Amino acid sequence: MQLTHKIALRPTPEQADYFARACGTARRVWNWALDEWKRQYAAGCKPNAMALKKQFNAIKYRDPQWLDEDGQPWFKTIHRDAHAQPFAYLEKAWKRYFADRKAGKPVSEPQFKKKGRCRDSFA
């Protein structure tokens, strides 16, 4: 029994550009969240996805790294799920890491994503 199906996308150049920007946004938010998670964990805190998402939402409109040359948030043109889902995925990755480590399986921590070296996607 087939439960899924694949649909081939043939985006226009404008749509392909949007998809690339959305993937880049998701990758950059993942890297920020992973760095912050590791920093908080090393400081003895117990980070979670919701707390990181709230922290990100508090800084995303005023931190220079999230603003374009005009001082506007560059991700305002990208759907919010592209910069919201990485937090849920990161928490899932850490839970899997700790569960596998507890079970004695060989594991490695979640890794930073690099353009061209990861599967670009967004939800």
Query: Does residue 1 sit within a domain?
Result: no
Task: Say if residue 67's pLDDT is above 80.
Answer: no
Residues spanned by the domain of 95: 30-123
Q: Give the total number of structural domains in the chain.
A: 1
The pLDDT score that the predictor gives to residue 80 is: 84
Query: Does residue 21 sit within a domain?
Result: no
Query: Does residue 103 sit within a domain?
Result: yes
> What are the pLDDT digits (tens) for 6-32?
888 899 999 989 988 888 888 989 999
Query: Does residue 89 sit within a domain?
Result: yes
Q: Is 118 left (phi over 0), alpha (psi -120 to 50) or beta?
A: beta
Q: What is the largest CA-CA distance in the chain?
A: 53
Q: Phi and psi (nearest 5°) for 67?
A: -110, 145
Look-up of token digits 């090393």: 42
Query: Does residue 91 sit within a domain?
Result: yes
Query: Does residue 19 sit within a domain?
Result: no
Handedness of CA 59, 66, 36, 105 (dihedral sign): positive
> What are the pLDDT digits (tens) for 92-121?
999 999 999 999 999 999 999 888 877 776
Query: Does residue 50 sit within a domain?
Result: yes
The pLDDT score that the predictor gives to residue 79 is: 85
The pLDDT score that the predictor gives to residue 86 is: 92
How far out from the chain centre does Cα 61 lie?
Answer: 17
In 3D space, the residue among 52, 50, 58 whose CA is nearest the CA of residue 29 turns out to be: 52
The pLDDT score that the predictor gives to residue 123 is: 58
Give the contacts of 43 (CB within 8 A, at least 6 positions apart): none
Name the band, by pLDDT with cuts 50, 70 and 90, for residue 4: confident
Average pLDDT, the chain: 87
Query: Does residue 15 sit within a domain?
Result: no
- On whether the CB atoms of residues 55 and 112 are closer than 8 A, the answer is no
